[in-house]
Chain A
C-alpha cells in the first residue's frame, strides 16, 4: 500500500474525532484533556531530583510535591499516551522523520532557538492561564467557560499580532 505523507484527515472529521475523545474523557473522568500540566510536573520532578530543598521552597512546586511523586498523576499518564498515539499515527502514515520543520531559506539553529524561546513563553503563559490550548482552550471552551473563551480569543490575538514578525522562518 502506498502511503501519502501529505494526506491528512479532513479537518471536520478530525475535529469531530477529537471532540468525541474529549466528551468521553469528561464522561469518564469528570474533567477534560490537557498537556502543559504534565510538562510542569516533569519540570518539578527534575528540580526536585537536583535540589530537593529548593523545590520545597517554591510554593507552586511545593504544592505539587505535597501529594507525593509529581509524576504519579493522571495528566502525566495522559501525555505519555499522547506521545504513543502521535508515534503510532506518524509511523502508520510514513511520517516519522528526524527533521526540523521550517521554511527552506531559514537557518536551522535560528529555527531551534525560536522553538525554545516560544516554548518558554508558552510554558509560562500556560501556568498563568491555568492551562494551555488543550486544558484551557479546548476542554474549558467546550464547557463554555468565560475564562476559556477569553483565553482562546487572546491566543489568536497574540498569534496574529506576532505572525508578521516571524514570517521568515516559514519561507
Chain B
C-alpha cells in the first residue's frame, strides 16, 4: 500500500497543509466552473428546471467511488484507513440531512458552495457563510441539552456493501448503472419542468446570468 501518505497528517504536517490549499483551490475552481457558485443553478434541482448540480454531484460520487475500488484493487490504497474517518450515526445523520436540506433551499447554497458564491461577490453567499458559522455555534451551545441524540444510531464504520452483502466492486458497478438511469430521468425532468420554471434554463443560457440579476440591480439602485 502506497496511499494514503500518513506522514502528511503527522510529521510532515506542513506539507499536508500545503496539499490542503492545493486541493481546496482545485475543489473551488471546479465548483465555480460547474455552476455551484450560483443559487439559481443550485436550487434548480429542487424545482426540476436545472439538474446540473444533481448530475455533477452524483458523477463525482461515482467517479471517486470507482477510483477507490480500482486503487484498492491494485493494492495501492488502504481503504480501511479512509473508511475509518466515516462512521455512521444514523439518527443524527437523518435529522441533520433533513434540516440541512431545508436550509439549502431557504439559503440557496450549501455550506461549501456558499464559500464559492461569496468568493465571486455574491452578497447572499457571504451572508450564508456567516449564517453557517452562527449555526455551528448554536449547535455547540445546545449540544449538552440534546440528551445524547447526536450519538444515537451508532453503527460504527458501516458501508452499503456490508449492509447489502454485495462485494464492493460489484456494488460500485450497480450504483454506477443506477446513476446512469437517474441522469436520464433528471434530463427528462428538466424538459418537463423547463416549461413552467420560475427562471427557465433557456433564459439563463441565452440571456446570461445578467438576466437573473437585472431585477436585483434595479431594486438596489432605487
Contact = CB atoms under 8 A, between A and B. Distances in A.
A130 B92 contact: yes
B55 A102 contact: no
Interface residues of B, number: 145
Interface string B196-222: 001100001111111011111101100
Contacts, number: 579
Interface in B46-93: 46-47, 51-53, 55-65, 67-68, 71, 76-79, 81-83, 85-90, 92-93
Contacts of B31: 18, 82, 85-86, 89
A23 B93 contact: no
B144 interface: yes
A119 interface: yes
Contact of B132 (A93, A119, A156, A170): A119
B177 interface: no
B39 A101 contact: yes
A90 B32 contact: yes
Nearest to A90: B120
B101 to A, nearest CB: 2
A166 B106 contact: yes
Contacts of B181: none
A99 B8 contact: no
A85 B93 contact: no
A111 B96 CA distance: 23
Given A28-B5, A125-B100, A118 B32 contact: no
A23 B68 contact: yes
A86 B119 contact: yes
Nearest to A101: B39
B11 interface: no
A89 to B, nearest CB: 3
B63 A74 contact: no
Contact of B17 (A74, A86, A153): A74
Contacts of A158: 97-105
A122 B103 contact: yes
B21 A147 contact: no
A147 B90 contact: yes
Contacts of B68: 23, 26, 142-143
A58 to B, nearest CB: 5
Interface of B: 3-6, 8-9, 16-17, 19-35, 37-41, 43, 45-47, 51-53, 55-65, 67-68, 71, 76-79, 81-83, 85-90, 92-125, 127-141, 143-144, 150, 155, 157-161, 163, 168, 171-172, 175, 183, 198-199, 204-210, 212-217, 219-220
25 contacts: A11-B34, A11-B53, A12-B56, A19-B65, A27-B71, A30-B85, A35-B111, A40-B137, A86-B28, A96-B121, A101-B212, A107-B219, A114-B106, A116-B128, A118-B131, A121-B99, A121-B102, A133-B104, A139-B86, A146-B88, A146-B160, A150-B90, A157-B97, A159-B46, A166-B106
